[in-house]
């Protein structure tokens, strides 16, 4: 207390000597000066240092250059600094921020546009420190959340790195073009074309794909409808090619049968000629007497059969005749035989009515396996005169010769029973094909085209 009182007296004396009035400011300055000389602090310096430490480093550096002795000088310095900053930089700074935010609004990135729009609505010259602080926190949070690793991983699947935005879009457009529905529709259409024959239904579906490639990307219900339609076209393509092969095989089979018959006749003629030669009697001089007319007739008969064989071979190798030979023309020949010799024939149709369900649920490959087994059963029940033809992707035709109406009924029933008793196992499911069958015989309908009538019924299944 003695020291403080002494300092107070000396302070007043020094104020008088310097001709200063004992105002609080003058008193404090002289008191601090005397205290400092005696190694005692009056507290003002500590307060100044305390407030200086709260300033940002840039302002602290500025203060070091000034000889600030008390709180008043510190306040004068700060007020001058703020006034100077507001006067020189504030308008340009806010204008600059506005330009940045407006520029960000042009971004194609929605996240960037959203935060720029929010910031633009809030920044103003009249903002207080709390508003600036809250806005700063929003940007910091946005910066932390902006990294989208999931998007980067998805882009990598297509060989695209998360580079410049414009470059990413260009690469994506290239990938989309390479994976366009139009391109895939064309590829699917190419795969559907039959290898050997033309199909109007497949051609219509192909045209539909070209005109409306977007059906590849329809919603689930419509997409399932398209998938089922595509499966049906795939099966139709397979059956169309099989029908062509069947047509050619039957053509060659018919011609081979005729060739076999002609060769058998030729062999018989040859055997007769050998027997004729062996029956000739030699004269004593070793000569043989042969009737010229007999020998001529035998050579003529032999030549006739050889000519028939050559003609049949030519017919079998004639591409035009092969292409013109169809099931319809084959049935017409059966009609001619019926009219001339009254030999009855019947056309028996067997069709899998639930083939679409089987195909859609179990796939084309399993349907093909079922139809192959179906075909095998029909083949095993055919006799030597019967023929099996494929009509379409789900139906077979049996041509039964030389049987009456009464004989055909049990024959049909036998085939139906064997087919329906056949069960196809797929995983844990038992697939039972539903069979529709019907037949017509020529004797019962002599004035109708049996094939045309039956094809109408097949198309209704």
In sequence order, the 6+-apart residues with CB closer than 8 A to the CB of 194 are: 202, 237, 240, 241, 244
pLDDT of residue 349: 96
What pLDDT does residue 439 have?
96
Return the sign of the alpha-carbon dihedral for residues 375, 380, 386, 387. Answer: positive
Query: What's the whole-model pTM score?
Result: 0.53
Given this model, what pLDDT does residue 397 score? Answer: 94
In this prediction, residue 163 carries a pLDDT of 62
Cα separation, 446 vs 337, in Å, equals 12
Look at residue 2 in the predicted model and tell me its pLDDT. 44
Dist. CA 223–CA 238, nearest whole Å: 23
DSSP per residue over 104-120, as a string?
HTT-S-HHHHHHHHHHH
Contact 454, 397 (CB under 8 A): yes
> Measuring CA to CA, which residue among 387, 444, 378 is closest to residue 411?
378
pLDDT of residue 172: 72
Shortest CA distance to 81 belongs to which of 105, 114, 56? 56
Closest CA to 242 of 394, 438, 354, 366: 394
> How many Å apart are CA 152 and CA 166, to the nearest integer?
15
Handedness of CA 407, 408, 412, 418 (dihedral sign): positive
pLDDT of 221: 55
* Helix, coil or strand: residue 131: helix
pLDDT score at 1: 45
According to the model, what pLDDT value does residue 343 have?
A: 92
List per-residue pLDDT tens for the chain, 461 residues long.
447 777 777 878 887 887 878 877 777 777 777 777 776 666 677 777 777 777 777 777 777 666 777 777 777 777 777 766 555 556 667 777 888 888 888 887 788 888 888 888 888 766 777 787 888 888 888 887 776 677 777 777 767 776 666 677 777 777 667 667 888 888 888 888 887 777 888 888 888 888 888 888 765 555 577 888 888 888 888 777 877 777 776 666 666 776 777 777 777 777 777 776 677 777 767 677 767 777 777 777 777 777 777 766 666 566 655 555 688 888 998 999 999 989 999 999 999 999 888 888 888 888 888 888 888 999 998 887 899 998 888 999 999 999 999 999 999 999 988 888 887 887 888 888 888 999 999 999 999 999 999 999 998 88
């Amino acid at each position: 207390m003695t020291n403080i009182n002494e300092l107070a007296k000396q302070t007043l004396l020094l104020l008088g000597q310097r001709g200063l009035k004992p105002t609080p400011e003058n008193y404090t300055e002289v008191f601090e000066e005397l205290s400092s000389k005696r190694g005692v602090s009056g507290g003002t310096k500590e307060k100044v240092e305390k407030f200086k430490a709260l300033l940002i480093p840039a302002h602290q550096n500025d203060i070091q250059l000034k000889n600030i002795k008390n709180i008043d000088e510190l306040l004068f310095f700060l007020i001058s600094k703020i006034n100077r900053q507001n006067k020189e930089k504030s308008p340009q700074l806010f204008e600059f921020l506005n330009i940045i935010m407006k520029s960000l609004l042009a971004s194609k990135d929605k996240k960037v546009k959203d935060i720029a729009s929010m910031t633009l609505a809030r920044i103003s010259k009249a903002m207080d420190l709390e508003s600036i602080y809250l806005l700063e926190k929003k940007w910091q949070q946005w910066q932390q959340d902006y990294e989208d690793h999931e998007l980067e991983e998805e882009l990598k699947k297509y060989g695209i790195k998360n580079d410049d935005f414009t470059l990413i879009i260009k690469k994506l457009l290239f990938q989309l073009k390479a994976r366009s529905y139009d391109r895939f529709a064309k590829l699917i259409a190419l795969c559907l074309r039959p290898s050997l024959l033309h199909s109007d239904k497949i051609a219509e579906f192909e045209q539909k794909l070209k005109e409306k490639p977007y059906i590849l990307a329809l919603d689930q219900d419509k997409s399932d409808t398209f998938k089922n339609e595509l499966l049906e076209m795939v099966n139709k393509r397979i059956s169309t090619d099989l029908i062509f092969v069947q047509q050619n095989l039957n053509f060659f089979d018919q011609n081979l049968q005729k060739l076999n018959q002609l060769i058998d006749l030729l062999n018989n003629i040859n055997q007769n000629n050998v027997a004729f030669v062996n029956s000739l009697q030699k004269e004593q001089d070793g000569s043989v007497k042969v009737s010229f007319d007999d020998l001529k007739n035998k050579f003529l008969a032999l030549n006739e059969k050889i000519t028939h064989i050559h003609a049949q071979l030519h017919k079998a190798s004639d591409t035009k005749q092969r292409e013109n030979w169809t099931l319809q023309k084959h049935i017409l020949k059966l009609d001619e035989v019926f009219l001339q010799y009254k030999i009855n024939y019947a056309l028996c149709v067997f069709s899998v009515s639930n083939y679409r369900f089987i195909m859609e649920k179990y796939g084309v490959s399993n349907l093909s396996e079922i139809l192959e087994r179906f075909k095998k059963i029909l083949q095993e029940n055919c006799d030597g005169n019967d023929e099996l033809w494929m009509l379409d992707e789900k139906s077979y035709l049996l041509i039964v010769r030389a049987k009456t109406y009464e004989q055909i009924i049990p024959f049909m029933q036998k085939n139906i029973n064997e087919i329906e008793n056949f069960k196809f196992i797929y995983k844990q499911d038992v697939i039972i094909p539903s069979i529709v069958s019907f037949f017509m015989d020529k004797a019962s309908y002599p004035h109708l085209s049996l094939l045309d009538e039956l094809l109408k019924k097949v198309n209704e299944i």
